[in-house]
Structure 1
Amino acid sequence: CFNPALSASLRSTVSKAELAAAVALSILAFNVARSVGPALGGGIVALGGASAAFTVNAMSYLLVIVVLWRWRGEPQGTSARPRTGFWATIGDGLCIAWAVPEIRTILLRAVTFTCTGAAAWALMPLVASDLLGEGSATFGILLGALGLGAVIGAATSTWFRNRFKAETLVRMAAVIYGLSCIGVALQLGLFAMTFLLVVAGAGWVQALSGFSVAGQLWAPLEAVGRVVAMVSSLTFGGIALGSWFWGHVAESQGVAVALMISGGAMLFVPLIGLVCPMPDQQKSQAAS
């Protein structure tokens, strides 16, 4: 509930020229938290138990509440549209997403990218234990490498976005991420695998920020929250579905095979762009 509202607020917080960078920073924060959080949480549990971890987690939201309390967005004016019920509002959002071909394309590309590429994130503990024969420290290094890649991807996203079209960026990200997964599956050693995961993390964030930015730019202003929610739901729903699928593949065929198949499949993901290319941001409704 919180993330779609937060993402939707970016459009009224920064200018259109800064939107891509703001979205990249938001995705960066999520991926860094996902990389650092488990290690930090594990340390808190080791020191004070599970109750201490839940207490610290709850207290961390106090800062968020203070920031939201002090922040005031720009007034958007009063809408002349009559208020509708909860389910009717959701239905309207689905109708808008279905009626706008560009939004349909964004949703399709987001779910196919994350579902296909979820193996690296889902199987990372097994990469450390099964492929490298190491423990939690190595797992932290590998997960931290993905987080570092996310930082690099977010820091360079504006530079790439100013020079390449959205479709080109998604294609490059898929190929880079896929090749990195194949390299990890080849078990080239900890140093090489760490480097490959940094590259993979950068490509991952480039693609996810592209989906989020495109969703915000093509969504009508009155439905931006619902469209962003759908993009987020399918993006992370793809991760959840892909994690389940690649987990079953790893259980039956092995971790290396699952990563190899996932990486190979990512190399074919750009072919979807031949039929459903990412919409051009310069032609978006928000930029018009």
Structure 2
Amino acid sequence: MTDSWHPRRANRALSYRNYRLFLSGAIVSNSGVWVQMIALAYVIEHLTDSGTWVGLGAVMQTLPAVVFGMVGGWLGDRFPRRIMLIFTNSAQALIALVFSAMWAWGVDRPVAYIALGALTGCVNGIQLPAWQAFVSELVPRGALLNAVTLNSAQFNAARAVGPAVGGVVLAIGGPAWSFLVNALSYVPAVMVLALIQVPRKEPTTGGERSNIFTDAIAALRFVSTHAGIRRAIMTAGVIALLGQPIIHLVVIFADDVFVVDEVRYGILAAAAGAGAALNTPFVITWGSRASRSRLVGLGWPVYGIALLGFAVSPYYWLAVVALAVVGAAHIITASTLNTVIQLQVTEALRAKVLALYLMTLLAGLPIGAQIQGALADVVGPRYAVGGAGVLLAVIALAWVSSGRTKVLDLQ
């Protein structure tokens, strides 16, 4: 079954005030996150000149989020998600201010920046499940697919705007200003969360014997008995392991392969987000009519092929184009897989199942970044990333041709 589509429904979620507020605050704060991300990768690479250290920085920013992911899912199903998000966004702003102060005061130990990045990961682990689950409180079920797609679109639009702005800020003001920009970006996010009005949320799981461990087991059992959700999580994990590490490894290509300045580094880092943003209208329109298995069957193999194209590109601007195609493929797969879970999960387990999904993503990315970063030091970044692209495309074609993705269409 495919979802019905009509031109008037293409932006259906935007007809709801709460969702418009949420989206506007999200794109500002997420843009700031990308400004900080490229600055932090730049700082670590500048202090160490090592792909292994850059990979380690990626691991320590995301591994704590894996550890705390189920905590965030448990909290997100028991307490008001809006209040949770106000507190976590405020905490992220404070951490960004500390980053800015550290660089301004001349702290030059990479371990210090990696440790503070780990604290960011802890907060992310608590925030992300509630963030994803909160979307279901802002729109009715009939608009959920559109809302999830637009939410993915805003993230990728931020992924385009943030690094581009970050490259300019980094070139003009240095890392301290980049971190400060991120801190300020959380102000509008907190403001719009305060303006959003949703019915008071009662705990959807509970009882005197309910705790994080029993609820986590319940979520795992639910996933194990629902083939569509299980396949979506597995697919996301493969993509995170092989495809998404390029987010952190772009700095190595900028410095060691193309040898460009901070502004062009920002453009390179922004290319994938720009491709995703440009592809969003296609996903919203055609994606609303096509089956979810067909969308993944298109986006996933292209992801791997474009990644290989980036790795072997002899020219900087050709690499920018290849990364834009990576981003275009990413939004097709990411928004579709997220939608599969949102539509197939029960409300009582929504945040916890989304936590499992996000934990898989967050575990795969740093592991892949660490492996590819270490390989880049040994065999060169082109071979490391190109090999990952080939493997990603081969697995995608094997799964799609065997029909394993058909379960994504289940309701």
Same fold judged by TM-score > 0.5?
yes
Residue 279 of structure 1 is matched in structure 2 by 407
Structure 1 match to 2:143 = 18
Alpha-carbon distance in 1 for matches of 2:363, 2:276 = 20
Q: What residue is the counterpart of 2:262 in the other structure? A: 136
- Which residue number corresponds to residue 166 of structure 1? 292
1:239 maps to which of 351, 362, 365: 365
CA distance in 1, matches of 2:175, 2:156: 25
Once the 2 structures are TM-superposed, how far is the Cα of residue 164 of structure 1 from its aligned partner?
2.4
Residues 20-75 of structure 1: CA deviation (Å, up to 9, x unaligned): 2322222233334345445545627964873x655554443332222222212256
Is the 1:116–1:266 contact (alpha carbons within 8 Å) kept by the matching residues of 2? yes
TM-score, length-normalised on structure 1?
0.86
CA gap 1:101/1:32 in 2 versus in 1, 3 angstroms: same
Asked whether the 8 Å contact 2:238–2:392 carries over to 1, the reply is no
Deviations, residues 172-210 of structure 1 (Å, cap 9, x unaligned): 112212221222222231222222211111101111111
Aligned counterpart in structure 2 of residue 31 of structure 1, from 143, 148, 156: 156
- In structure 2, the CA distance between the partners of 1:222 and 1:147, relative to structure 1 (3 Å rule), is same
Distance 1:33 1:86 in 2: 33
Aligned 8 A contact 2:311 2:382 in 1:
yes
Deviations 1:113-151 (A, max 9, x none): 221213432321122222222232221121121111121
Counterpart of 1:98 in structure 2 is: 224
Residue 182 (structure 1) aligned to one of 308, 323, 329: 308
Higher alpha-carbon deviation: 85-94 or 101-110 = 85-94
TM-score, L = length of structure 2: 0.62
Matched, 1:121 2:247: yes
Are 2:346 and 1:212 equivalent residues in the alignment? no
Indicate conservation of the 8 Å contact 2:243/2:389, yes or no.
Answer: yes
- Tell me the amino acid that sits aligned with residue 339 of structure 2: V
Query: Are positions 1:202 and 2:328 aligned together?
Result: yes
CA 1:232–1:79 in structure 2 vs 1: closer, same or farther (change >3 Å)?
closer
Judge conservation of contact 1:114–1:239 (CA < 8 Å) in 2.
yes
Percent of paired sites with the same residue: 23
Unaligned runs of 5+ in 1: none
Q: Distance in 2 between matches of 1:49 and 1:140?
A: 13
Q: Which runs of 4+ in 1 moved over 4 A?
A: 38-42, 52-56, 74-81
Between the two proteins, the alignment pairs up a number of residues equal to 282
Matched, 1:3 2:131: no
Counterpart of 2:135 in structure 1: which amino acid? L
Query: In structure 1, what is the Cα distance between the partners aligned to 2:163 and 2:334?
Result: 21
